[in-house]
Structure 1
């Protein structure tokens, strides 16, 4: 940026005060041209119209070394040349857009946009910026450019000689300018010689001698000057043809001329004399074979033997397909629509043979000039699309996109939108995202909303092919809503079917929940029931069901999809067996998925419940003689038999272990506690109730059996409590009490917790309990017997504690014990 500002500042200083700067913004220094390459060429922009131009600037300080007289001669000669150029109007003559303006320090005028002079291309870099621009230094001319460029110069000379009656007299690479589009234009009329005869007489050009005393830069270039200027002191239009022959030679010899005079008149005279004896056949080896003979004639010493410009333009060398194509394009304004359409139809085949630069610089501008004629646009677009495919993204954005953006909005003829839609992948790939959003996609939207069903169907068919290149937000918020609206609103069956087909292809670019929330409700609202519509609906559901990114939830299938498919497949009588089978296959697939998913869920829940049960204690066994209601013999009803196989009989018969109610088997008031060793296993209990068990029941009983085994091996669990432990009342030993009463010494006064009558009652009740139970110890009644235990709290005396260690014979009291 700093360098650019410095260059811009230097330009401003160079042309300060020149009126040209009032109308044009001067840009970068890009080339040089004119006699002696005295003119610097800058890029420029017209301020009012923003039109691109080139500004030729001559800085007077570059001729400071010359005398005042020579300076004046040079300036006057340059002004004369620009004045003559301004008056000439022809496609092969450089166009002047703003006449010459002079200031104290410079001369300047504006022309059509210029790339460089032919001398710059051939390696002459005088008056160019330093370093030399890479686009000039590395520029190589293609054969088609050379051929058509020389043909353009030849046609320009034809105009000058036959129509303008002017002899240029300084045709050279310095005075041949290449514009931005690659066209070769004649300039540099500083040395031109006008016709001195009247218009009704043959043209006569007065001889103008080359003056060694004048500055060489404002005189004809001696390297390209015809020999008759020194041999016969004469000149005519054939002298320009000799100069053109030397240009031929220089182009095919990397800028070298036949002779090098170095601005020395005596060297020129010597070379002109030797030209008679030079065997041009040997020195023209680099010239193409089809042009060699004619170039030899152009370099003939005898002027009358040289072909004129009109004759030269018709030689076989210029009949190349590429050069003829370019020539035809330059004359399009002379053709009618039929001729143009036929030419444009065959142009793509020719474009394959042309270099890309020629297509960009020479072909495209000619095609753009025909955009004003809308009827020609369908014939122009295929050629533009081909060039766009070969161009880089940068070239596409620079040379193509700005010109086709206005065409996106044209709706008639309909082939315009058709061609764009067919090449939408290319447009989306090369067009910047901002331009896609602002220009390309609106064209797609307008196609969906077009009144023509043909355009709608075409857009729907092509849309999925470039869907991957459309941003998700644009697809979700702009494309899909229009497709859905068209699907519900159209009255054309083919359009509706194509809408559904398009939706089926686009859903894979959407997320699952958008499809479930936005697409499925639209499908339910479709009013028609034609087989094509129904099969398209089925296709959408099938894609959503099977695509790995999407899928349909169980709830949506059971509540929406399956009922809808069943309804439309069975209510419609127009489906053939194959179509109906397709519906049934999808429905069965959905049912299978629902069944698998729901069974898996139930199995998971059942597994969780069983894991929770395993944390609880095993089944509590009932005492002997106690059974549950499930153990009571019952007759199995048909409902019981049906539910038995599904593990539900316990829920309806009350036979579950948790709900079991104890039932007394005997009328006895006492029962003996059942030990763990005597309890029956679950398998034994279940076996007594059923003769046939399902797999699930067998698995459950096996787990219960394992649980019982684990509980037996672990022993009883003792719960811990932090409350104060109360000693249970102990049974009074009557033998010890009697002994203490009768044997104790007088000084010991034992106290008894109960009276003798109570003791008798206690003993009697205890013995009765012993007789009833048969297995309990004396006074050891269990809690299951149903009898009450008196609380007896004996107070042991000190004496009894002291004599507790002595052995006392109590055999006399055995009679008291039954």
Structure 2
């Protein structure tokens, strides 16, 4: 009964009423591998996921010094490759250590056979040991799979600080309590097994950690070992690291390779850490000190290789670094394509929280290359943007491109309207946007004038009826007077594509007269299109006049009226006969024309 009460206190956090974390279910796969029990937890304030390591002081009194030492070292030592400490508390019955949310490495190894991911993990552990051994003169003393955890990105984080000791301390814990860790005899280095933990006083600070780093490599590729003799079997270990692995597990501590040297060898040209995953992550971690040209080349390469990376690495490691580079300008325009590519694997909620938030901020950036990249890639993410975000936060920045002094920005801004128009509000579309389009029809660049006309033709279906009547005829008629031939062709095609929007009067008195003027254009391409457009409107008129009365004469019974009616009838019949003899050609919709 006391045992059940104890468990209840841990699970519910009742030992410490002010403890700001909820302690949830125990991670069963970790049970028995350490002096700690691992629980999933959440922060009470905002529900953030955390991990909680719990130690029962009453049940493991002999190992209490180990738990106290780990708690102390968690609070005082920080490094990116060590498990991140968040909070902790010690009571008479329990010690709680709260860290970033992680899972046991053992669980990841069961799910992933990715050799590059394993090498990246080994690099991270080696980097942590280099920091401890070389920079801090600290012995870890407990390097093994059960001391390593993986975060959401799948990155390995070193923990297991029960024996962590500085050789500068007066009474290092490892010399006295080294034999109390779980399975200490199995993982003890040969010199410790033959003598005692005190033998480490006369050795280099890294010798026992290097041995355990070697046994870690063995277990990562082979699974658990039961005897040191098994460490000689290197069949499953990548050939590229075999020689250095053998030096790590040398029985002679004086010949043993340090983790620092292992890392340095792997990073040399042609070394075992020279793979895309490791190199990409290392570049991202040091991007602030890279030159602009290096970054440009890196992002080109990244966009091609991220398809081969584990999804969790892309989402939780690479993507945050890219977002940071985009928002603060260190990545330049080339950073956007890989962001969009990774974003496609996110859920709708994640996309809105991560990608959309960054894109909205970036649209406000004055850097032309970044703005151009956003416009060029708009089609990749426009469907993920809500109408509200487009109207309230993005459009106001996009329209600055209409008046930009760089023609390429103005041109791509025009093209972007084709994607933005369906999401714009009635007021924005029918008033504000059309003011910019009217100005661009008089742009100095003939290509921009042409594309503006095509753009207006394509978005006309989104305009309200009054705007269509007020704007389209005058806009397209203006383009027919443009000195640039392609602009005149664009105006003719726009008229054809929007022919259904005009009534009989507009067709007969406004449009056909304008079109007829360019039937004798100096450019053959314009003349050909003019006749096609005229044919379209003549057929349109034929349909419209079908509903008109045969005559406007009020009294059909009078002799005079009957005579007139006969004449009118004969004329109409003759016109119909002529019309039927003309070969018509349906004009391809302007929506199929690529800008």
**TM-score normalised over the length of structure 2:** 0.77
Q: Which residue is 1:13 aligned to?
A: 12
The one of 36, 39, 49 equivalent to 1:38 is: 36
CA distance 1:605–1:242, shift in 2 (3 Å): farther
Is the CA contact 1:448–1:483 (under 8 Å) kept in the aligned structure 2?
no
How far has the Cα of 1:149 moved from its partner?
0.6
CA distance 1:177–1:102, shift in 2 (3 Å): same
Q: Which string of whole-angstrom CA distances, capped at 9 and with x for unpartnered residues, describes residues 239-271 of structure 1?
A: 212212222122223xx3211xxxxxxxxxxx4
The one of 533, 542, 545 equivalent to 1:598 is: 545
Q: Which residue is 1:773 aligned to?
A: none
Is the CA contact 2:210–2:258 (under 8 Å) kept in the aligned structure 1?
yes
Q: Does 1:503 align with 2:450?
A: no
How far has the Cα of 1:58 moved from its partner?
1.8
Distance 1:694 1:327 in 2: 85
Is the CA contact 1:157–1:309 (under 8 Å) kept in the aligned structure 2?
yes
Q: Which residue is 1:300 aligned to?
A: 250
Is the CA contact 2:477–2:514 (under 8 Å) kept in the aligned structure 1?
no
CA distance 1:221–1:206, shift in 2 (3 Å): closer
Is the CA contact 2:479–2:491 (under 8 Å) kept in the aligned structure 1?
no
CA distance 1:592–1:114, shift in 2 (3 Å): closer
Q: Which string of whole-angstrom CA distances, capped at 9 and with x for unpartnered residues, describes residues 457-482 of structure 1?
A: 21212433x369x34xx264434544
The one of 428, 434, 443 equivalent to 1:492 is: 443
**Alignment length (residue pairs):** 545
Is the CA contact 1:18–1:106 (under 8 Å) kept in the aligned structure 2?
no
Q: Does 1:93 align with 2:12?
A: no
Distance 1:585 1:219 in 2: 87
Q: Does 1:257 align with 2:234?
A: no
CA distance 1:580–1:521, shift in 2 (3 Å): closer
How far has the Cα of 1:150 moved from its partner?
0.4
> SS in structure 2 opposite 1:91?
coil
Q: Which residue is 2:413 aligned to?
A: 459
Is the CA contact 2:140–2:161 (under 8 Å) kept in the aligned structure 1?
yes
CA distance 1:177–1:279, shift in 2 (3 Å): closer
How far has the Cα of 1:164 moved from its partner?
0.8
Distance 2:395 2:41 in 1: 35
Q: Does 1:54 align with 2:50?
A: yes
Q: How does 1:389-400 map to 2 (within 5 A)?
A: 389=344, 391=346, 393=348, 396-397=351-352, 399-400=354-355
Q: How does 1:133-532 map to 2 (within 5 A)?
A: 139-140=111-112, 142-196=114-168, 207-208=175-176, 210-211=178-179, 216=180, 218=181, 221-233=184-196, 234-235=199-200, 236=203, 237-253=206-222, 256-259=223-226, 271=227, 275=228, 278=229, 280-281=231-232, 283-313=233-263, 314-315=265-266, 316-371=271-326, 373-389=328-344, 391=346, 393=348, 396-397=351-352, 399-410=354-365, 412-431=366-385, 435=389, 438-440=392-394, 443-448=397-402, 452-464=406-418, 466=419, 470-471=422-423, 474=424, 476-490=426-440, 491-494=442-445, 495-507=448-460, 509-510=461-462, 513=465, 516-520=468-472, 522-523=474-475, 529-532=481-484
How far has the Cα of 1:170 moved from its partner?
0.7
How far has the Cα of 1:144 moved from its partner?
1.9
Distance 1:279 1:56 in 2: 34
Q: Which residue is 1:114 aligned to?
A: 101
Unaligned runs of 5+ in 1: 1-8, 124-138, 199-203, 260-270, 614-628, 631-639, 652-692, 697-818
Distance 1:20 1:291 in 2: 46
Q: Which residue is 1:662 aligned to?
A: none
Q: Which residue is 2:590 aligned to?
A: none
Q: Which residue is 1:540 aligned to?
A: 494
Q: How does 1:614-763 map to 2 (within 5 A)?
A: 647-648=566-567
Is the CA contact 2:493–2:533 (under 8 Å) kept in the aligned structure 1?
no
Is the CA contact 2:35–2:182 (under 8 Å) kept in the aligned structure 1?
no
Structure holding more helix per residue: 2
Q: Does 1:558 align with 2:508?
A: yes
Range that drifts further, 38-47 or 302-311: 38-47
Distance 2:230 2:546 in 1: 102
Distance 1:564 1:396 in 2: 49
CA distance 1:489–1:17, shift in 2 (3 Å): same
Q: Does 1:84 align with 2:63?
A: no
Of structures 1 and 2, the one scoring higher in RCO (CA 8 A, sep 6+) is 2
RMSD, matched Cα: 4.2
User: Could you say which structure has the larger radius of gyration?
Assistant: 1
Is the CA contact 1:484–1:499 (under 8 Å) kept in the aligned structure 2?
no
How far has the Cα of 1:376 moved from its partner?
2.8
> SS in structure 2 opposite 1:177?
strand
CA distance 1:162–1:582, shift in 2 (3 Å): closer
The one of 87, 90, 97 equivalent to 1:102 is: 90
Q: Which residue is 2:3 aligned to?
A: none
Distance 2:571 2:329 in 1: 83
